[in-house]
Structure 1
Amino acid sequence: MTDVLIVGSGPTGLTLACDLALRGITVRVLDGRCGPHRESRGKGLVPSSLEVFARLGAAERMAAVGIRGVILRKYFDGAHINDTPTGDGLLIGQFQVEEALRELLAGLGVPIEYQAQVVGITQDATGVTAELADGRSVRAGYAAGCDGGRSSVRKLLGIPFEGRTEATETMVIGDVRAPGLSRDHWHQWFSSDGGGMLLCPIPATDIFQLQASPELGENGEPLPPSLEGFQRLFDRHARVPGIRLADPTWLAAWRVNVRMAARMREGRVFLAGDAAHVHPIAGGLGMNTGVQDAAALGRTLAAALTDPAADGVLDAYEAERLPAAAHVLADTVGRHERVLAAVREPGRGTEAGLA
Structure 2
Amino acid sequence: MKKIVFALLLPILVVASGYTVQAAGFKDVPEDHYAYEAILWAEEYDIVNGYADGTFKPNATITEQQFAKLLANFYELESPYDELKKQTPLANWSDEFYNRLASYGVPLNGYFDNNIRGANVKRGVVAQAISHLVNGKSGLDQSIQFLLDYYISTGQNLQYENRNLQKFFGVSNNMTRAQVVTMLHRMDERNFYEISDYAQKINENMSNASLNTRAKNGQNQLDKTMQLTTPSNSAWNGTYSYYYKWGTGSTDFNRRDAYISNATSKSFTIFMTANDGTAAGSVDGTATITSNTKAVMNKSSNGNRCVLEFERHNNALKITEVDCRKEHDEGTNFSGTLKKQ
TM-score, structure 1 normalization: 0.23
Structure with the bigger RCO (C-alpha within 8 Å, sep 6+) is 1
TM-score, structure 2 normalization: 0.24
